[in-house]
């Protein structure tokens, strides 16, 4: 073997090993997890304001981690439009991570306007629990600019806020660090404590990005079981909606509160089952919720229209 | 199994590996679609595009191997060059797609809005990957093969050397030439001086 043959064959062998590791452990799983292929926007035409919200009745949808603008995000958005046709809802609670692969200001049309056009045209309102940039959100100018853009473009009143629709009070939280954890988090927690204590509606729904309980890739958010869960239990919150992990999961009621992860807006990651898990599935999905009097019915719907989970919560006594 | 059959078998396996390297990223995307409970049709256009590009490249790779087998000075040069080409193909076919789709998401979405099917972009990126692999394979093969200085041999750029185009000095067998046979030299004739009359003899 001469010098050239030695060099070329060595390069080939090293390249083979490097390619195997790079592709097998990095690139192909990434292609399978991400939603990079751009998709066509849904073209459904929906009846405007077809929902029926009364003091004891409301329908809404919850959607998390849908910010790719790819085919899978479009498939979920398309299914939402189809569901609206049969079961109209006037509100979409967005559970964070509404923009991937760029900043929201540049990608507003791709990740929000285009997929949601049928619902926007139908007059559906969107309320956001911010969630982009999972960590260090408030520690960079870019992070702050991203939050500002999201709040401004979606007309969101602030990083954390409350809204009332029919018989339900919604509490949207900024779950990033230091939103609910660490130094500087006491302000939001005090606000939440006071607002929950003052809420007198029949149903209390909390929406945030990071899940207090999850069996997925990210898992339960450390610290929430000490900081958030006792507070939610103390104020008899009925339903907590979260994203972050790209799957669907519902817990058994924990101190009377049901926790749902609905992060399958455009990507999927694996999910296991833990002792608090009632239902878990790695799938694209969104959650449709009907509140009618003392009964809350949640339905997790896959992009093909099939139902991954359906559950009912009865209102607490005295409400 | 004859050496010729082995060569064909190995060339076939190599062509199949090339096909698989081109198809793999499309299958990864298709797997995501399959797992996500989207309708069965989604993602098939990308797989179809990769099948077309991959099959074309497999045919080209097969042909290149057969061609190189006829001209190679050593068989190992073919396989070393092919291994390098396959590494470049596998990496570029997946990384190009991943990088371009992730880095230029806005632009692709804009094209999609205009009605340009993403499958065109997908096929174009994979064709670039195939071209990179082919250039690598041919370049490495050319580099390994014996050849004179580049300015004389490389008149066709990076194309591999074909024996009839490259002026490689060859060893030519010639019949041994027998050493020349010398004719025998006749022995000198000696004449006795005493028997000759000398000119000085008194006349």
A237 against B118, higher pLDDT:
A237
**How near does any CA of chain B get to the CA of A125, in Å?**
24
Say what the pLDDT of residue B190 is: 65
- The distance from CA A219 to its chain's CA centroid, rounded to whole angstroms, is 14
pLDDT digits (tens, 9 = 90+) for B115-133: 667 888 899 999 999 999 9
Q: Is the CB of B10 inside 8 Å of chain A's CB atoms?
A: no
Is the reported ipTM for this assembly greater than 0.85?
A: no
| pLDDT, chain A, mean | 90
Q: How many CB pairs below 8 Å do chains A and B form together?
A: 140
- The distance from CA A61 to its chain's CA centroid, rounded to whole angstroms, is 11
From chain A, pick out residues whose CB is under 8 angstroms from the CB of B88. Answer: 15
For residue A128, give the nearest of A76, A85, A163, A83 by alpha carbon: A163
β-pair partners for B9: none
Which of B80, B90, B144 has the CB atom closest to A23's CB atom?
Answer: B90
Q: Is the CB of A164 inside 8 Å of chain B's CB atoms?
A: no
Distance CA A150, CA B157 (A): 54
β-pair partners for A250: A260, A279
Q: Domain-by-domain residue ranges, chain B?
A: 3-153
Helices (H) and strands (E) in chain B, counts: 6, 0
Distance CA B166, CA B73 (A): 13
Say what the pLDDT of residue A33 is: 86
132-151 in B: which are within 8 Å (CB) of A? 140, 143-144
What is the value of pTM for the model shown? 0.81
CA dihedral A137, A142, A147, A151 (to 10 degrees): 180
Would the pLDDT of B58 be above 50? yes
> Beta strand A239-242 with A203-207: parallel, antiparallel or unpaired?
parallel
| pLDDT, chain B, mean | 80
Which of B180-196 are b and which e, b meaning 16 or more Cβ less than 10 Å from the residue's Cβ?
Answer: eeeeeeeeeeeeeeeee
Walk me through the domains of chain A, giving residue ranges and CATH numbers: 34-314 (3.60.21.10)
Say what the pLDDT of residue A186 is: 85
Distance CA A180, CA A35 (A): 30
From chain A, pick out residues whose CB is under 8 angstroms from the CB of B77. Answer: 5
Per-residue confidence band for B35, with pLDDT thresholds at 50, 70 and 90: confident
A231 against B151, higher pLDDT:
A231
Per-residue confidence band for B108, with pLDDT thresholds at 50, 70 and 90: confident
Distance CA B146, CA B168 (A): 8
Per-residue confidence band for B153, with pLDDT thresholds at 50, 70 and 90: very low
pLDDT digits (tens, 9 = 90+) for A268-312: 999 999 999 999 999 999 999 999 999 999 999 999 999 999 999
Contact A28 B28 (CB under 8 A): yes
Contact B90 A19 (CB under 8 A): yes
Say what the pLDDT of residue B80 is: 94
Q: Is the CB of B32 inside 8 Å of chain A's CB atoms?
A: yes
CB B86 within 8 A of CB B54: no
Would the pLDDT of A206 be above 60? yes
Say what the pLDDT of residue A159 is: 87
Assigned token pair, A256: 């009377």
**Mean pLDDT calculated for residue range B86-112:** 87
| Segment of A122-136, B116-130, B173-187 carrying the highest mean pLDDT | B116-130
Q: What is the 3-state secondary structure (H, E, C) of A105-133?
A: HHHHHHHHHHHHHHHHHCCCEEEECCCCC
Backbone torsions φ then ψ of A313, nearest 5 degrees: -120, 135
How many other C-beta atoms are found inside a 10 Å radius of the C-beta of residue A182?
Answer: 13
CB A210 within 8 A of CB A236: no
The three-state secondary structure class of A30 is helix
**Mean pLDDT calculated for residue range B102-110:** 78
Contact B83 A9 (CB under 8 A): yes
**How near does any CA of chain B get to the CA of A315, in Å?**
33
> Beta strand A57-63 with A286-292: parallel, antiparallel or unpaired?
antiparallel
> Beta strand A258-262 with A248-251: parallel, antiparallel or unpaired?
antiparallel
Would the pLDDT of B202 be above 60? no
Is the peptide bond preceding residue B74 cis, with omega within 30 degrees of 0?
A: no
Backbone torsions φ then ψ of B147, nearest 5 degrees: -160, 155
Exposed/middle/buried for B8, CB within 10 Å: 0-12, 13-18, 19+?
A: middle
Contact B25 A31 (CB under 8 A): yes
Per-residue confidence band for B148, with pLDDT thresholds at 50, 70 and 90: low
From chain A, pick out residues whose CB is under 8 angstroms from the CB of B31. Answer: 32
Q: Is the CB of B46 inside 8 Å of chain A's CB atoms?
A: yes
Which of B31-47 are b and which e, b meaning 16 or more Cβ less than 10 Å from the residue's Cβ?
Answer: bbbeebbbeeebbebbb
Is the peptide bond preceding residue A229 cis, with omega within 30 degrees of 0?
A: no
Would the pLDDT of B171 be above 80? no
Contact B80 A34 (CB under 8 A): no
Q: Is the CB of A27 inside 8 Å of chain B's CB atoms?
A: yes
Which of A11, A36, A72 has the CB atom closest to B101's CB atom?
Answer: A36
Contact B35 A306 (CB under 8 A): no
């Amino acid at each position: 073997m001469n010098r050239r043959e030695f060099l070329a064959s060595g390069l080939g062998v090293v390249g083979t090993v490097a390619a195997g590791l790079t592709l097998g452990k990095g690139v192909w799983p990434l292609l399978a997890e991400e939603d990079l292929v751009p998709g066509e926007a849904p073209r459904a035409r929906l009846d405007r304001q077809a929902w029926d919200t009364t003091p004891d009745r409301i329908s809404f949808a919850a959607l998390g981690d849908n910010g790719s603008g790819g085919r899978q995000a479009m498939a979920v958005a398309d299914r939402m439009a189809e569901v609206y046709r049969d079961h109209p809802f006037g509100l979409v609670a967005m559970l964070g991570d509404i923009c991937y692969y760029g900043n929201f200001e540049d990608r507003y049309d791709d990740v929000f306007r285009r997929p949601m056009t049928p619902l926007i045209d139908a007059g559906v309102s969107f309320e956001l629990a911010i969630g982009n940039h999972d960590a260090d959100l408030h520690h960079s100018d870019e992070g702050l600019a991203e939050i500002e853009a999201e709040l401004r473009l979606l007309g969101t009143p602030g990083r954390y806020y409350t809204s009332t629709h029919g018989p339900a009070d919604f509490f949207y939280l900024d779950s990033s660090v230091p939103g609910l954890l660490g130094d500087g988090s006491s302000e939001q927690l005090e606000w939440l404590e006071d607002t929950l204590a003052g809420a007198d509606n029949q149903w209390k729904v909390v929406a945030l990005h990071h899940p207090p309980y999850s069996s997925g890739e990210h898992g339960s958010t450390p610290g929430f079981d000490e900081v958030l869960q006792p507070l939610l239990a103390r104020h008899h919150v009925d339903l907590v909606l979260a994203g972050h992990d790209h799957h669907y999961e519902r817990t058994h009621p924990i101190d009377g509160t049901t926790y749902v992860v609905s992060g399958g807006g455009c990507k999927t990651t694996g999910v296991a089952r833990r002792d608090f898990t009632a239902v878990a599935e790695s799938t694209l999905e969104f959650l449709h919720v009907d509140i009618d009097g003392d009964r809350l019915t949640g339905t997790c719907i896959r992009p093909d229209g099939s139902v991954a989970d359906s559950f009912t919560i009865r209102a607490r006594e005295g409400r | 199994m004859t050496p010729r059959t082995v060569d064909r078998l190995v060339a076939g396996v190599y062509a199949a590996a090339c096909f698989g390297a081109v198809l793999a990223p499309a299958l990864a995307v298709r797997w995501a679609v399959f797992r996500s409970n989207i309708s069965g049709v989604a993602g098939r256009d990308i797989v179809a595009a990769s099948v077309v590009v991959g099959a074309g490249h497999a045919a080209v790779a097969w042909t290149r191997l057969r061609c190189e087998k006829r001209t190679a000075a050593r068989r190992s040069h073919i396989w070393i060059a092919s291994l390098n080409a396959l590494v470049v193909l596998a990496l570029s076919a997946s990384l190009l797609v991943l990088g371009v789709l992730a880095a230029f998401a806005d632009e692709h979405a804009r094209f999609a809005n205009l009605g340009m099917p993403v499958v065109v972009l997908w096929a174009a990126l994979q064709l670039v990957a195939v071209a990179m692999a082919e250039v690598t394979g041919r370049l490495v093969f050319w580099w390994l093969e014996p050849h004179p200085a580049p300015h004389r041999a490389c008149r066709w750029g990076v194309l591999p050397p074909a024996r009839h185009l490259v002026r490689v000095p060859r060893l030519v067998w010639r019949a041994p030439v027998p050493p020349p046979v010398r004719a025998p030299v006749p022995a000198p004739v000696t004449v006795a001086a005493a028997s000759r009359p000398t000119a000085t003899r008194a006349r």
